[in-house]
């Protein structure tokens, strides 16, 4: 594995009482024991400026997070997962000449020959220490702390099945960042429909496994097949049960100071694709994806304008009607509204005893009143008025042959 060194950032520097130092960024995960790796080392670049002779001190510290969420610093080797149990700092010339010029130091971290198949995490502290006096205390003025996690290659293969799981997306929210008018502010939004302006996509993901993982996010907004906005977050350590929240917007800074440009189209479908990748010790876990979409359409202002125009035309039309015609038109409109409300109103549930459906009979006397339990009246048979002819039809004439 080649040497790893991060880009120098401006906010990494810190002014001291007698000088200034800046430290290069470290990767989120340093994988050791990779097969066919010619050289495994991690290079840290330190730039120091001082007007008095000083020594550059680089040391490991253990990071401990309590139940209240506060992080405390312990001396190196205090915990089993200490960086001091897996890495060594190679000797280097740590003396600054103190002439006021910037001096570069190269600090090399290398893995030990023997180490446990476990996850190691902690911090690397860099500080200047004057030759004539000591500046004690981790995290005191003049020190810079960089977090680091070391993972042996193939650590996931040694874990029990089901204990190492990828980070899961548990929540996603889409929020509008601007309003086009007072009407847009008053009328409520419809889910999945964006009236105007840029949006902010917020996702919350969680490590549901029993081991920490390194989770990275990749965002893409597409209009058809065209990617209109994208952003990627570098992998970060996610402890078991820990949740993290990230957000992106569909706007960028404009040329003028303080201006923002919206990247969304004025009309059309926009897809929002989010991918969460998880890994540990060079083992890639299944990627978790979220695919959503929304439609961009400025509908609120045209709706209010159409409704206002309709009311204005109706008022002008009713002015030319007689009082009787106005009353009749109002009655028709109210009747139509009542019919529409009745159609969509949920019908009350009718008890089975009030319907034609059969019910379970518990007893004859428990259902029908006493008057209905009397025997029905049997009418007398009607006597015929005269004798009944046995043969109403004449017999056919007898044949003479």
CA–CA dist 395, 401 (Å, integer): 17
> φ and ψ at 214, to 5 degrees?
-105, 115
The closest alpha carbon to 175, from 151, 139, 203, belongs to: 203
Could you say which of 282, 301, 320 is where a domain stops?
A: 301
Mean pLDDT of 157-166: 76
Give every CB contact of residue 91 below 8 A, 6+ residues apart in sequence.
none
Q: Clarify whether residues 279 and 148 are in a common domain.
A: no
Classify 42 as helix, strand or coil: strand
Contact 26, 147 (CB under 8 A): yes
Whole-number pLDDT of residue 364: 46
Alpha-carbon torsion, ordered 16, 20, 25, 31, to 10 deg: -80
Q: How many CB atoms lie within 10 A of CB 74?
A: 14
Q: Clarify whether residues 230 and 275 are in a common domain.
A: yes
Exposure string (b/e) for 108-123, b if CB count within 10 Å is 16 or more?
ebebeeeeeeebbbbb
Contact 210, 240 (CB under 8 A): yes
> Is residue 323 one of the residues assigned to a domain?
no
Mean pLDDT of 205-210: 92
Confidence tier at 12 by pLDDT (50, 70, 90): very low
Contact 88, 110 (CB under 8 A): yes
CA–CA dist 279, 285 (Å, integer): 5
The closest alpha carbon to 23, from 155, 144, 191, 202, belongs to: 144
Distances in Å between the Cα of 244 and the Cα atoms of 178, 207, 285, 329 are 26, 9, 18, 60
Confidence tier at 59 by pLDDT (50, 70, 90): very high
Domain count, the chain: 2
Whole-number pLDDT of residue 13: 47
Q: Clarify whether residues 69 and 121 are in a common domain.
A: yes
CA–CA dist 65, 72 (Å, integer): 6
pLDDT of 343 over the 50 cut: yes
Residue with tokens 């001190």: 57
Mean pLDDT of 29-47: 88
Q: Clarify whether residues 233 and 142 are in a common domain.
A: no
Q: Clarify whether residues 146 and 274 are in a common domain.
A: no
Whole-number pLDDT of residue 372: 53
Contact 63, 123 (CB under 8 A): yes
> Is residue 357 one of the residues assigned to a domain?
no
- The token pair that represents 51 in the structure block: 């007007």
Per-residue pLDDT reduced to its tens digit, 245-258: 999 999 888 777 87
> Is residue 394 one of the residues assigned to a domain?
no
Listed range (90-99, 376-385, 387-396) with the worst mean pLDDT: 387-396
* Mean of all residue pLDDT scores within the chain: 80
Could you say which of 301, 323, 339 is where a domain stops?
A: 301
Mean pLDDT of 133-157: 71
Contact 91, 123 (CB under 8 A): no
Q: Clarify whether residues 80 and 142 are in a common domain.
A: yes
Listed range (129-133, 184-188, 213-217, 283-287) with the worst mean pLDDT: 129-133
Classify 119 as helix, strand or coil: coil
pLDDT of 137 over the 50 cut: no
Whole-number pLDDT of residue 392: 54
The angle at the Cα of 106, spanning 279 to 147, to the nearest 5 degrees, equals 35
- The token pair that represents 3 in the structure block: 């040497």
Listed range (38-52, 57-71, 331-345, 368-382) with the worst mean pLDDT: 368-382
Whole-number pLDDT of residue 362: 47
Q: Clarify whether residues 92 and 149 are in a common domain.
A: yes
Classify 334 as helix, strand or coil: helix
> Is residue 40 one of the residues assigned to a domain?
yes
DSSP 8-state code for residue 259: -
Reported as type and span, the H/E element at residue 201 is strand 199-207
> Is residue 367 one of the residues assigned to a domain?
no
Confidence tier at 131 by pLDDT (50, 70, 90): confident
Whole-number pLDDT of residue 139: 39
pLDDT of 117 over the 60 cut: yes
Confidence tier at 16 by pLDDT (50, 70, 90): very low
Whole-number pLDDT of residue 60: 95
Alpha-carbon torsion, ordered 151, 157, 163, 168, to 10 deg: 70
Whole-number pLDDT of residue 358: 54
Per-residue pLDDT reduced to its tens digit, 275-292: 999 998 888 999 999 999
Percent of the chain having pLDDT more than 70?
Answer: 75
Give every CB contact of residue 94 below 8 A, 6+ residues apart in sequence.
55, 56, 57, 58, 105
Classify 7 as helix, strand or coil: coil
CATH number (domain holding residue 241)? 2.60.40.10
Whole-number pLDDT of residue 381: 66
Q: Clarify whether residues 143 and 176 are in a common domain.
A: no
Whole-number pLDDT of residue 11: 39
Confidence tier at 363 by pLDDT (50, 70, 90): very low
Q: Clarify whether residues 14 and 147 are in a common domain.
A: yes
pLDDT of 17 over the 50 cut: no
Give every CB contact of residue 369 below 8 A, 6+ residues apart in sequence.
none
> Is residue 81 one of the residues assigned to a domain?
yes
Tell me the residue range of the domain where 76 lies: 10-153
Q: Clarify whether residues 115 and 179 are in a common domain.
A: no
> Is residue 398 one of the residues assigned to a domain?
no
Pairwise pLDDT comparison (136 vs 253), residue with the higher score:
253
Q: Clarify whether residues 171 and 146 are in a common domain.
A: no
Whole-number pLDDT of residue 340: 73
How long is the chain?
401
Q: How many CB atoms lie within 10 A of CB 214?
A: 22
Whole-number pLDDT of residue 388: 54
Pairwise pLDDT comparison (382 vs 103), residue with the higher score:
103
> Is residue 324 one of the residues assigned to a domain?
no
Classify 394 as helix, strand or coil: coil
CA–CA dist 201, 247 (Å, integer): 5
Q: Clarify whether residues 23 and 93 are in a common domain.
A: yes
Q: Kindly give the pairing relationship between strand 13-15 and strand 30-32.
A: unpaired
Could you say which of 241, 268, 301 is where a domain stops?
A: 301
């Amino acid at each position: 594995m080649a040497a790893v060194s991060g880009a120098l950032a401006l906010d990494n520097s810190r002014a001291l009482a007698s000088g200034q130092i800046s430290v290069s960024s470290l990767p989120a995960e340093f994988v050791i024991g990779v097969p066919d790796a010619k050289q495994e080392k991690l290079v840290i670049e330190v730039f120091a400026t001082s007007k008095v002779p000083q020594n550059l001190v680089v040391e490991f510290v253990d990071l401990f997070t309590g139940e209240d969420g506060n992080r405390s610093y312990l001396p190196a080797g205090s915990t089993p997962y200490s960086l001091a149990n897996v890495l060594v700092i190679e000797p280097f010339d740590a003396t600054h000449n103190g002439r006021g010029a910037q001096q570069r130091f190269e600090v090399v971290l290398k893995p030990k020959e023997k180490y446990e198949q476990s996850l190691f995490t902690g911090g690397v502290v860099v500080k200047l220490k004057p030759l004539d006096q000591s500046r004690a205390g981790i995290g005191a003025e003049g020190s810079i702390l960089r977090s680091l996690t070391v993972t042996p290659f193939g650590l996931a293969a040694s874990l029990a099945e089901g204990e190492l799981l990828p980070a899961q997306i548990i929540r996603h929210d889409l929020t509008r960042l601007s309003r086009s008018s007072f009407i847009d502010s008053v009328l409520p939004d419809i889910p999945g429909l964006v009236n105007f302006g840029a949006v902010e996509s917020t996702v919350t993901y969680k490590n549901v496994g029993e081991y920490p993982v390194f989770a990275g996010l990749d965002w893409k907004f597409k209009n058809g097949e065209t990617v209109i906005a994208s952003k990627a977050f570098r992998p970060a350590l996610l402890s078991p049960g820990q949740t993290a929240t990230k957000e992106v917007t569909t706007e960028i800074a404009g040329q003028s100071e303080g201006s923002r440009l919206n990247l969304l189209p004025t009309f059309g479908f926009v897809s929002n694709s989010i991918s969460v990748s998880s890994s540990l010790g060079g083992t890639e876990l299944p990627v978790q994806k979220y695919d959503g979409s929304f439609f961009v359409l400025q509908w609120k202002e045209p709706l209010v304008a159409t409704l206002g125009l309709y009311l204005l035309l109706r008022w002008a039309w009713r002015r030319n009607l007689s009082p009787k015609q106005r009353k009749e038109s109002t009655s028709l409109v109210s009747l139509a509204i009542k019919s529409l409300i009745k159609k969509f109103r949920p019908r009350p549930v009718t008890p089975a005893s009030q319907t034609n459906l059969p019910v379970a009979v518990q007893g004859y006397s428990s259902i029908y009143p006493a008057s209905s339990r009397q025997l029905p009246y049997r009418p007398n048979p009607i006597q015929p008025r005269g004798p009944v002819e046995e043969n109403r039809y004449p017999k056919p004439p007898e044949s003479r042959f």
